[in-house]
Amino acid sequence: MSGIENLQRALESIILNPKYADYLAILKAARNGAVYGAKVRFPHALVMIFLFRSGTVREKLALIFRATKTHAQNLAKYAMVYKITMLVLKHMGSTPGKEGKLDTFFAGLLGGYLVFGRRSKRGHVSSVSKQIVIFVFARVCLAVAQLSIEPAMGIIKDPEMTKRIAHDAWPVFAALSWGSVMWLFRWYPDTVQSGLRSSMDYIYVQSDHWDSLRNFLIYNK
C-alpha cells in the first residue's frame, strides 16, 4: 500500500471518529460557508458589475473577485464563530452536553456582530456585508410576521382571521415595499443601496432618453 493511501486511511480514521465530530464540524461549516458564498456571489457580481459598472475589463474582474472573496470569507468566518460558540455554550449550560433553547440566538448574535457588524479602518461597512444582513433581515421579518398569526403562538388566535390575514398580507406587503422604494428612489436616491439604485436608474431613468432607433431598441443613449 502506498504512502498516499496510508495517509488517506489515517485521515479518514480521524474524521470518522465520533470523538472529534463536534470540532471537525467547525471546519466543515467554514468550508461550506466559503463555497456557498463564492457560488452565490460570483454570478451575481459578474452580471451586476458588467452591466452597471464602468471601467476596464480588468477593473471589473478585480471588483468581481473582491466581492466574491468578501462574501465567501464572511460566510466562512460566521460559520466558524457560530459553531464554536454553540460548542462552548453546549458545555457551559445548566445541562452540560445539551443545547440550550437560546444558544442559537446568542451564537448568531456574536457571529453577526463580529463578522457583519464590524466596520473597516475607514469606518465603512462593506456593501457585501450590508446586502447579506439586509437579505437576512427581510427573511426574519417575513418569518416573524408569519409566526405572529399562528394560532398556537402568535397574537392572532382566531383561525379564520389567521387565514384571512395570511391571504391578504402578501399583496399588501408587496405593494408597500415597491411603493416605498420607488418614492425613496425618486426623492432620496442616495438612501437606496447602490446596486439597486443602479438597476433602477437603468430601468426607470435611462428609459426616458433616446435620439435614434438604435439607442431606443439596442442600447441606451
Which value, to the nearest 10 degrees, does the dihedral of the CA atoms of residues 171, 144, 140, 181 take?
Answer: 30
157 close to 151: Cβ distance less than 8 angstroms: yes
Centre a 10 Å sphere on the Cβ of residue 41 and count the other Cβ atoms it contains.
22
| Confidence at residue 1, expressed as pLDDT on a 0 to 100 scale | 57
Residue 61 identity (one-letter amino acid): L
Indicate the burial class of 130 (C-beta count within 10 angstroms; 0-12, 13-18, 19 or more). Answer: middle
Sign of CA dihedral 62, 65, 68, 69: negative
| Confidence at residue 71, expressed as pLDDT on a 0 to 100 scale | 93
Q: Indicate the helix (H) or strand (E) that contains 115.
A: none
Q: How far apart are the C-alpha atoms of 97 and 91, rounded to whole Å?
A: 5
| Confidence at residue 58, expressed as pLDDT on a 0 to 100 scale | 92
DSSP string, 165-198: HHHHHHHHHHHHHHHHHHHHHHH-GGGS-HHHHH
List Cα–Cα distances, 64 to 58, 77, 112, in angstroms. Answer: 10, 20, 24
- Residue 201 three-state SS: helix
Averaged over successive runs of 10 residues, the pLDDT of the chain (221 residues) comes to 82 89 93 95 91 88 94 96 95 83 95 91 82 91 86 76 85 93 96 86 89 83 64
| Confidence at residue 221, expressed as pLDDT on a 0 to 100 scale | 64
Q: How far apart are the C-alpha atoms of 79 and 26, rounded to whole Å?
A: 7
